[in-house]
Structure formats: structure tokens, C-alpha cells
Structure 1
Amino acid sequence: MTDLESILTIPQLLAATATRYGESMAIEDDSVHISYHRLDQLRRQAARALLALDIQAGERVAIWAPNVHEWIVAAIALQSVGAVLVPLNTRMKGSEAAFILRESGASLLFVIGEFLGTDYPSLLSGEALPALRMRICLRGAAPDCLGWDDFMALADEVSPAELVVRESQVDQHSLSDLLFTSGTTGKPKGVMTAHGQNLRIVRDWSAMVGLRPGDRYLIVNPFFHSFGYKAGWLAALMRGCCILPQQVFDVPVMLERVARERVNVLPGPPTLYQSILAFPERGRFDLSSLRVAVTGAASVPVEMVRRMRSELGFETIVTAYGLTEACGFVTICRPGDSAERVATTSGRAFPDVEVRCVDASGNPLPPGEPGELLVRGYNLMQGYFNNPEATAEAIDAEGWLHTGDIGVLDEDGYLRITDRIKDMFITGGFNVYPAEIEQVILRYPGVAQAAVIGIPDERLGEVAMAFLLPASGQQLDTGDFLAWCREQMANYKVPRRVQVVDAMPLNAAGKVTKDTLRRLAV
């Protein structure tokens, strides 16, 4: 196989791993077992089908589905023809997904027919999607959706030689994906990253956590998130692992799979490990195959890390910090770091990635002093899609990305995230942006003002709490309001508590002081 350093695009990676790992299993998805050789065949077939549909280089293609093997085939196929992957969160409501489809200008959508009782294609009925010209059902069937088998059959219309030409036009600078993240403005922004930078950072990540050929990697993190995509199936394919997709986070089902399928690698947010450790019947399952755990996205109790080693048998436990604007990766602990270091820091910067903490004037701070975390390196995004103003706001003239997170670096360069300038909080591993929820809440009849904060939650880390100021003369029923929220937004964004107030606490500039609300919540 070609040296990993010389592989610059995702189609090159798949061709190389097919040669190297051949009949070794790449994906086991229930009864469907796909070898590396077969995965490369399926990728090429799906890529030729996309050419039959006249998908051009640079066109955006969206995927809205849970963790299934067809998701991976569709993604690597569209990336092979130079199209750009736009993953959609399966928890989104129709209007939220439609917004991203419009913003990205996606021309084609791969969608699951039904998942957890929801008919996904029907969620988009009535939404204006002028650029979307084709929908393909990965599984199941739906009106106006081409079935997966019929889609794959389109490959017969295109010669392998045509695909070779198109693949040769994809290079390390070609966009590989457009992942939408929410900012403080409350409007999701599309983060553009390229083939070469993603492969380089994933190569380093997978080496540091010690992925090995033949490792059985249970991917519970959603494929639509950079954790489940880049540190998930892309890293697994790079290192010759076997991907075991898991559609739903269900502790007994997961433990049963770990025991039955001899899982070695199990990354996830801290809630995943806390749920396993708290599961009363854990002793019934043989978890001795577990070796690698990677976590982050929230504070990690030191005792949890110790118990993961002693009770769950993990040899390698690392924590990391990343954000979509940096290909998902910024810092990581190294194997062998102490339980304290793993629990209390997010590791140190990846090779050739720089981090610094600065004061309000942008001056670098000495170790131990908290300040805004800045990141610079090859892993930074190409910018926000169709949004040069926001890009210029995020990345300064010297090439530093301003993360909006407050951190402290120690003498050895290990990072501790202490707060978030942007008030973002994390619910069960998902980033939650109060401004986005506030914008939705303001559509509720009778609400004059709304403010959202994160409050502690034993299971999910933090959850949303909403403060509502009623319009003059209006009464607000909190039960009705919460029921409405559940219909309007993804579950992880829905406020778990609500308080009606007579007045919002404001600062001199007229902005709501969230610190006052946090004290009020307590």
C-alpha cells in the first residue's frame, strides 16, 4: 500500500486500502459484511451512478440518515467524483434540515426512508428546495425517491474510464465536506474543509490513539458529526479496522454487541461511559476485548477515567478538544498520560497545529492564565460557505482562528477549557447554541423576550433552560410552551426547564446578563 503520507484524497485512500486489506472486513452492519475490496467496488459503482445523474465536481450532496453502511458508500462515492458531502443531523425537524439544504445549495439528497418511527422524506414536504433535483432512499421507499438498488444500477450507463478521469481531477485542495455548525448569531454556518487536510489530521489522530488493522470499531457517534465521521469511519478505513455502525445509543444493546462482536475501540462522549459504568447488569457482559476509549466534549470526572481502566479494562483512554472549524481536531492527550491529566485537560496540540491563549487585546498569555483560545495550522477550515464576513471575523490576518472558548495552557502545553465565551453548552455530546434556540422561541405566541442558558444535568452534562418574558397582557402556560418546543426543534435543543420572569436582567449595553440567569436558575 502507498505510504499514508502520500495519500491526498479520499478516493486514493479507498483504492489503497482495498489493495492492502483486500478481503479483510471493512464494515459489518447486521447481516451485511463488506470487505475492503468489496467496499471499493461499491464506492466505484455508486460514483459512476452519480456521474450518470450528472453530478459535477463541487456540487453539494447531502446525507440524512443514521449510522448505516449505505451512508459510508454514498459519502465516499460522492467524494470520489469531487462532490462535497453535506451531512444532516437525524434529530433535525424538516424546517431545520431544509434550511441547511437551501444554504448549501445541495442538488441531491440521500435519505433514510423511516427511522425510529419518523418518515424522513415526508418531513420535507412543503419546504421550498429550489436546488434539490433528486432524492435517493438509502433504505426503504418513499414517493419521489429513487431506491438504493435502482440508483446503483445507473452505474451501467457510465464507463469505469469516465470515473478514472473524474477521480484524477480531485486533489488535496478539493472540498471534501461542508459541515454546518451553529454560531452565536443562531444561523448555522457551513464549514468548508478539503481532502488533504482531513486525511492528514485523521492520520495523526488514528496513530495517537493506536488504531490497528483488524480492530473492531463500534461507532456510536453519529456519522453526521465530525466525531463519528472523521474520528469514526474515516479513521477506521485509514487503519484497516472493521466498522460496526450503531444506530441508537442503547446501553444493553451496546454491551451485548461489545461482548458478541469483540469490540476493541469505543469512543464517545463522557455520558456513554457513565451510562455503561452505571448499568446495573454490566457484569453479565464480557467486555475484555475493549482497548481504546476516546472522549471529550464535556468535563470528565477523574474517578470515571480510573473506573474505565479498572472496571472496563481500557488500556488507552484519551481526551481531546476540537471544533468543526479545525477539521474536528485541535488537541489530544497522549497514550500513557495520567488519569488526572486525561480527566482534567484536553491534551496538547496535534503536530504542526499551534494553540495559544490571549487576553482581550489579543496578547498571548503565560501558562496558567485563562484567555480566549486561538488555533492556527493546516487543519483550519477553508472558510464559511458563502460567508466571507463571518470567515474574516473568525480567522484573523495572522491566520489564527478565534474559537470563542476560554482556556488555560499549562507549562507542557496541555489545554484546559474553562468556559465558553459564546455561551454554548453541550448536551449529551451535541453542541447547543442558546441564540439558535432563542430565535425559535421568539416565534411562540405571547413571548416578548427569551433567553436560554445551560444548566447541569446528571445524565447529559448540561441541558437548556429557557427564561421567558411575556408580551404585555399575555399569560404563558409553561406546559404548552414545552410541548410546542418539542415539535419545533431537535430533542437535544429542547429546554428541560422554563421560568417566566417579570423582567430580563440587562447590562448597560442592553444585553441580557446570562450570569444573573445562571444564579437565578440555581
Structure 2
Amino acid sequence: MTAPSIVFGPRLDEEPGQGAQTIAGYLREVVARYGPREAVVLRQGACRISWSYDDLMERAMAVARALVGCGTAKGERVGILMTNRPEFLSSLFGTALAGGVPVALSTFSTPSELDHLLGASQVSTLLFERQVLKKDFGAMLAEIDPAIVQGRPGSLASMHFPYLRRLVSLGDVPDREGQPAGEVSGAVETWERFLSRGAAIPPEVVLTRSEGVHPADTGGIFFSSGTTSLPKGIVHSQRAIAVQWWRWPRLFAMHEPVRSWTGNGFFWSGNVSMVVGAAFSTGGAVILQRLFDADEALDLIERERVTFLNGRPHQWARLQGSARWPGADLSSVRYVPRGELVRQHPSVATDWEVPMSYGCTETMTICTSFVADDPQGGFEGSFGAPLPGNVLKIVEPISRRVVPVGTVGEMCIKGPTLMSGYLGKAPEECFDEEGFFCTGDAGRVDAAGRFFWEGRMTEMIKTGGANVAPVEVDEVIARIPGVKRTQTVGVPDDLLGEMVVACIVPIDGAKLDEATVVARCKAEIASFKIPRRVLFFREEDYAVTGNEKVKSSEVRALAVARLAADTAEAVRPPLA
């Protein structure tokens, strides 16, 4: 009889490299280890801001003391609406030190999205960056709720946001160390005035509060991307966040202080987890970039001797498209997940390969993985085995019965980094009867306990009786020089049921054609997964959200319309 598809990872308490399992405990431990070393760097024009680990603790303590001075109680939620700047990290750790819950909010938010995020998260304090590109969040907040203009600093009384009491505005990054006051109005107060509210709070009070926080307590709230619906608030425990921070160096085989960079916001769990964990757990430094810009990124990597890059394939394509690319010195780069395009640069010399892993925001990033330097690590097509503390099962999606080993079904997971739940949802709306989160992803396990991901169950392309995961095709196409963005979709077809169609946005000036894309796919994936058609679009054709994700339904509609137009053109009779 075939064994059931249930796989247990090792015990969490046996995992090497783990430390304190609260956010504040993690900070205190890395500061004790690495105090005077450089921890945080931000370059803004000619200005270079550098914080040591001791500086980070001091700045986080200042935020924590201010929150305590403002009356913040244990478990109160503090919204952080900022780009990647030092104050994001001091606010994250400061909130945790005070016993509060940091809530990461996207700077890509539109007024309606911000309205939803504040309402759903029920934050009592909002620490926000006043101006991000053309967005004035102070004006946006006032537009959402006029009470913000009419109130007084620190005493907001809003019927629209009944839990929100305090708004703190952070101005532009200065040309020198220190923070300018910036303009405020109504209930919004300056960063300096906010910090001054903690002047009378002894540091010992904060440290005592942090010791009263337990690994099972709420540690943070992140929101899903919201490409198909309103973003969902995902609640994580203290332990979930700390466990992942500690384990990245082991999984990635990082044996030296890591200087890590990302051009993506820390309001996404993967970035704040990988970038912070890789740097701080090794005594390295986080190299901040507030907003992704290819030229600036290349300059940062070169000047700050960055070793770990965390980005997406389309961003690597933008680096290649930069005029700075040919002459850039990227010789410091060693770790680049999905970084084939970066490794094509002549100055990059690394044989590191990202260990295949699977995860999602609900598991605070990965829950299955190989280990990068494991001599037995890696297995073609597999995403590794469950990480310590995790249990994985594969079920038939309708009956919810566990399927036999080797059978494709829905992947379900539980363990120490699984979310506590969704905001506003009962446990039974988040988990099955056994406490598993059912991911909506198709997959299988083999007899060795390795997980094989087969794509999203709802987005799987069924062509000629076979299943094709769009992401698998996109991974290949994204590595082709000149590809800026790619989205593979299934288009209705009378013969095949669905036809695999690749929709590509090239880098400006790049010369790509259908034959080149098909040839690359033929070399790397099975024949039934190769796109039958390759369509090229302009950047403005794609329905792109603020986090640079694309609604597959809208891209599919674009592909259907383009193919219909091509067919009509082909059968149109010639002019007399």
C-alpha cells in the first residue's frame, strides 16, 4: 500500500543557529554580539548615513520610549508607512521593544487602499513618511478623514478610524545626520516631537516591557498583495519572525558578515525577513535603497560592496539595461536568488546557487527548502523538505483526504512560522480541523519527503490533458536578456483546451522575437510547456499594481484580443 503524503520536518529545538525567539530578544542578542559594527547604511545623494548595531539599538529605544510615553499598551498596533530608510528599522524594533505590534503598510497604496489598510489593521499610532515620490501621505490622510486636519497632535478623535489616536510625520531624508522638522498640520506631529515624548521614560522600563513579550505573542502584521481582491491582514507571532531571521544564514550557507540589499519595500515579508536576517544574523549590514532605481542600485552595490542581492528577475533585466551596467564593478556579489542575469556580468564570479524553496506570506516566507552547501542538497524539480518544526500534507482539494505519495493535490502546511490567522477571520476560516493552512497550491511529495510544487491550482494551464504552471515558464523567459516583464497565460483553444501563450514586455530598445523565446524554452522545459505563441506588449499595456504584480486575468484578456486581431488580419481579403 502506498504511504500517505504527510511529511514531518526535524524538531525546531534541534535547528542549528536559532536564538531568542522574540523580535526584541533578537535585536538585543545581535547587538550584544556585534555592537560597534556597521549595521545600517543609506546613501542619499552625497550623504552617507551609517548606523552601528549600538546606534540601531539607541534609535529603536528612542522610538520605544516615545511609544511608552504616549501610553502605548502591550499588543497595541503601530502602523509603519515608510520606504526602506533607517527609521523603518528603528520603528520596527522600537515598536517591538515597547511591547507593541508593528504593522507594515505599503507605500504604493492609493487613497482607497490606505483607507482599507488603516481600517483593517486598527492601528493606534501611524508612523509615516510624508512624501514618497509624488504621493503626499499627509494630504492623502486628510482627504480620507477631515478629522485629521481638525485635530491636535497626539489627540486624534476620528469616527472613521476609531482606534487611531496619533499620527507622526517623517520628513525627507536629510543631507546630513539628523531629521528636519517638515511641515505638519492638525493632528499630525513631527518625528522630533514624537521622540521627545519619551525623554522621561527610563530605558529600563522599555527593557522590562520587552522581557514580558513571549514567542507566542503577536509579532507583526503584513498584508497580502491584493492583486485580485482587497489585501488580507496576515498576523504573525513573535517566534515566526525571529525563527526566519535566524535561519537564513544556515539555509543560504552564509559564513561571513553579509552586506545585503533589496530595492523592494520592507512592507513585504520576504524582503524584511531575508535582507534583515541575512545581514544581522551574520554581523553584516543592511544597505538601504528607498525605491528601486537601476542606476542607483548599481552604484550602491559597487560602492558598498554588497554581497547579497534580493530582487526579482525583471529588476535584474533593468540592471542589464542601465548604461552603467557594462562598467560596473560587481565583484563583491556572491548571493543572488534567481540571479542568472546578474551572474552574466563579467565582474561577477560566484558559484553559489539559491537552494530551491517554497513559501508564502502566510508562512512568513519559506517553509520547505534545501540547504545551499549540503552535498546531497538539490533534486531536480523539488523545492526541498519541510523546515524544522513544520508538517506538510497533500490533500485531495474537495474531500480534503490525504492522497498517496506521488499524487498531485493541494499542499497544506503547519508549523512555527505559520501565521496566527487573518485579521477579522475565525480560525476555521484560516485553517482546517488539524490546524493546517491549505495554500491553494498544487504539489506532490516523493518517498524521500521532498516537495514538488506544481503551480497555483486556480492558475494552472490545462493544455492537451497536461498541467502547466505559468511560473515555471516565466522563470525561463525572465532569464532571457532583454525581457523586462513576462506573464504566461492559458488561452482557450478548440484543440488543446488551453494554449500556452507568453506575454512579454521587452526592455526599451531590446530586440526579441518569438523564435528566440521558443528556442530558449525548448532547451529548458518539457515540450508541452513551451508557449505556442509569444506576444510582445508595451509597458503601458500591462495592468501592473504598485508591487509590480500583474493580474493574470487581464493579461489573458489582452492575449485573447491580440490573437483574435491577428486571426482577423490573416483572413482579411486583399485590397482590389
TM-score range, shorter chain: 0.7 to 0.9
Match of 2:504 in 1: 457
- Shift in alpha-carbon separation, 1:46–1:280, aligned structure 2, 3 A: closer
> Take 2:564 and 2:104, find their aligned partners in 1: how far apart are those partners?
38
| Cα offset, 1:422, TM superposition | 4.2
- Is the counterpart of residue 135 in structure 1 residue 167 in structure 2? yes
Match of 1:125, as an amino acid? A
Q: Is the 8 A contact 1:305 1:343 kept in 2?
A: no
Q: Aligned in 2, Cα 1:334/1:34: closer, same or farther, shift over 3 Å?
A: same
Alignment of 1:424-443 (within 5 A): none
* Structure 2 residue 449 is matched with structure 1 residue 417: no
1:46-445 alignment, distance < 5 Å:
46-127=63-144, 128-140=160-172, 141=182, 142-144=184-186, 145-181=188-224, 186-212=229-255, 214-277=257-320, 279=322, 281-295=324-338, 304=340, 307=343, 312-318=348-354, 319-336=356-373, 344-360=381-397, 361-366=399-404, 368-388=406-426, 391-423=427-459
Question: Which blocks of at least 5 consecutive residues in structure 2 are unaligned?
Answer: 1-15, 145-159, 173-181, 461-469, 479-483, 488-500, 508-539, 567-576
Please say which of residues 309-318 and 169-178 is displaced more in the overlay: 309-318
Match for residue 537 of structure 2?
A: none
- The residue type paired with residue 44 of structure 1 is M
Using a 3 Å threshold, how does the CA distance of structure 1 residues 414 and 314 change in structure 2: closer, same or farther? farther
Between 1 and 2, higher relative CO (CA 8 Å, sep ≥ 6) is seen in: 2
Matches of 1:266 and 1:245 in 2, distance apart? Answer: 11
344 and 37 in structure 1: CA distance in 2 versus 1, 3 angstrom threshold: same
TM-score by length of 1: 0.76
Q: Distance in 2 between matches of 1:206 and 1:400?
A: 27
| 1:84 Cα deviation after fit | 1.0
Q: Name the CA distance, whole Å, in 2 between partners of 1:221 and 1:252.
A: 15
Native 8 Å contact 1:271 1:459 kept in 2 = no
**Which AA in structure 2 matches 1:457?**
I
The answer as to whether partners of 1:211 and 1:241 remain within 8 angstroms in 2 is no
Any conservation in 2 of the 1:367–1:408 contact (CA below 8 Å)? yes
The answer to whether structure 1 residue 22 and structure 2 residue 35 are counterparts is yes
Report the secondary structure of 1:157's partner residue: coil
- In structure 2, what is the equivalent of residue 446 of structure 1? none
Separation in structure 2 between the aligned mates of residue 341 and residue 218 of structure 1, nearest angstrom: 25
Q: How far 1:244 sits from its partner (Å)?
A: 0.5
Distance 1:278 1:401 in 2: 40
Q: CA deviation at 1:75?
A: 0.8
Aligned-residue CA RMSD in angstroms? 3.9
Deviations 1:393-415 (A, max 9, x none): 33111222100011244554444
Quote the offset at 1:61 in angstroms.
0.8
Q: Indicate the SS of the match to 2:223.
A: strand
Paired amino acid for 1:403: T
* Distance (whole Å) between structure 1 residues aligned to residue 51 and residue 548 of structure 2: 33
- What per-residue deviation string (whole Å, max 9, x for no partner) do you get for residues 93-150 of structure 1? 0210111111111111111111112212212223232221111123243324222222
2:342–2:348 CA contact under 8 A, matched in 1: no
Aligned to 2:492: none
Deviation string 1:203-249 (CA, Å, 9 cap, x unpaired) is 22232113345321113231000111111224422321111011222
Q: Which amino acid aligns with 1:186?
A: S
Q: Secondary structure at the match of 2:297?
A: helix
CA-CA distance at 1:12 after TM superposition: 1.7
CA drift at 1:277:
4.6
Aligned to 2:33, the other structure's residue is in SS state helix
* Structure 1 partner of 2:5: none
Deviation at residue 174 of structure 1 after TM alignment: 1.5
**Change over 3 Å in CA distance of 1:273–1:313 after alignment to 2:** farther
SS state at 1:322 partner: strand
Letter in 1 for 2:336: A
Q: Is 1:82–1:166's contact at 8 Å kept on the other side of the alignment?
A: yes
The one-letter amino acid of 1:215's match is: V
Q: Percent same amino acid among aligned pairs?
A: 25
Whichever residue aligns with residue 420 of structure 2, its letter is: Q
**Following TM superposition, by how much is the alpha carbon of 1:26 offset from its aligned partner in structure 2, in angstroms?**
0.7
8 Å CA contact 1:26, 1:240 repeated in 2 = yes
Alignment partner of 1:255: what SS?
helix
TM norm structure 2: 0.70
Deviation at 1:321, TM superposition (A): 2.2
**Residues 23 and 93, structure 2, Cα contact 8 Å, conserved in 1:** yes
Alignment size in residue pairs: 455
Instruction: Determine which structure has more spread, i.e. the larger CA radius of gyration.
Output: 2
SS at structure 2 position matched to 1:239: coil
Tell me, yes or no, if the aligned pair for 2:411 and 2:438 is still in contact at 8 Å.
Answer: yes
SS at match of 1:402: strand
Residues 161-212 of structure 1: CA deviation (Å, up to 9, x unaligned)? 3223312211111211011226798233221111123212332223211334
Contact 1:66 1:222 in 2 (8 A): yes
CA offset at residue 358 of structure 1? 2.5
